[in-house]
Chain A
């Protein structure tokens, strides 16, 4: 049965790969605010964090509030070096997932908030003004919160023998790539 689930999951991944080639411009526009690799890996890191550590309501609440603050800051002030801060938050969160111990609730919440804040500051709001800009920010907030909540929920319910290790391996990949790109900020 487990093998069948794994096979089905693989097929889903394959189908998702094909869907990435969709020419549905409305769909592309909907996901555009979060269509950046740095944002995506930050979301995945946060979902892994929530799924592994629990304290779901606390972390999601902090993440959602900090994301809203980040988006507001992004709207009112031109963001500077947001990707570096986002990558640092992503790498740190990923490393804590890799270590795999039960961290205190305050730290779990703080990390969720840190990723949310930097994520909000890093979202590309575009050159729109007024309502269009607000809509973009609202879409990004909704998608990010829903993604982390759904991802965290799914990860927390994984019952395969290897799932806990898989979570830590995925976190190590995310941390590694975030650290590497973060180094570019200090490249000569």
Chain B
């Protein structure tokens, strides 16, 4: 990918951020609040980036399949949260997602596609449940849910954009190192959740 293409891609990611400007217009519980939710939760944030990184590492079709599977299964987890169905150790599950996905990138794991999708789907349920339990309190639930789904997707895109560096040897090392950092952050989140 050329530098110009990278620049255009990054510009597109910034375009997604423009929606945050609505926050000051009183749309509390709306798109802006939902959009900021995954961005302000570091445990969500690193796991979402890791999904994109891993997708880029595995290449097509995982590259696009994982970011498609994640929001849909996350919605299923969110439905459980909305309906009040208890899910044990949600915070632990989210921390484990950062550890698992980060480690998968760090160790350059290449499982079969179905297994990668299943792993991502299982973790997505925990993230979705955490979002879903907060949805009933949102003033504009449709805008809120769309906001956090779009933010989740934007984080996947960030991970994919960075993960595309794997086409170069140095980039491959950088991506695996980032995976390691994410896994370590996951250990921190796990310790915090268990405390």
Q: Chain A: residues with CB nearer than 8 A to chain B? A: 2-4, 6-7, 9-11, 13-14, 17-18, 20-21, 36-38, 41, 83, 87, 95, 98, 165, 168-169, 172-181, 183-184, 186-188
Contact = CB atoms under 8 A, between A and B. Distances in A.
A188 B79 contact: no
B100 interface: no
A180 B140 contact: no
A11 B135 contact: no
B5 A3 contact: yes
Nearest to B71: A176
B191 interface: no
Given A173-B149, A175-B75, 14 more contacts: A3-B4, A6-B8, A14-B15, A17-B21, A41-B142, A83-B142, A98-B68, A172-B67, A173-B146, A175-B71, A176-B75, A179-B76, A180-B141, A183-B78
A17 B149 contact: no
Contact of B68 (A4, A172, A179, A186): A172
A36 B149 CA distance: 17
28 contacts: A4-B8, A7-B8, A10-B12, A13-B15, A14-B14, A37-B140, A37-B142, A38-B142, A41-B142, A95-B72, A169-B68, A169-B153, A172-B67, A173-B149, A175-B72, A175-B75, A176-B71, A176-B145, A176-B149, A177-B149, A179-B72, A180-B82, A181-B142, A181-B145, A183-B79, A183-B83, A184-B136, A187-B136
Given A165-B64, A175-B75, A7 B11 contact: yes
A95 B74 CA distance: 14
Contacts of A2: 5
A165 B63 CA distance: 10
Interface of B: 2, 4-5, 7-9, 11-12, 14-16, 18-19, 21-22, 25, 30-31, 64, 67-68, 71-72, 74-76, 78-79, 82-84, 128, 131-132, 135-136, 140-143, 145-146, 149-150, 153
A47 to B, nearest CB: 16
A112 B140 CA distance: 26
Interface centre among B21, B76, B149, B150 (most CB of A within 10 A): B149
A149 B16 CA distance: 24
B149 A169 contact: no
Contacts of A18: 18, 21
Closest 3 CB pairs of A and B: A17-B18, A176-B75, A6-B8
A9 B31 contact: no
A110 B71 CA distance: 26
A21 B136 CA distance: 27
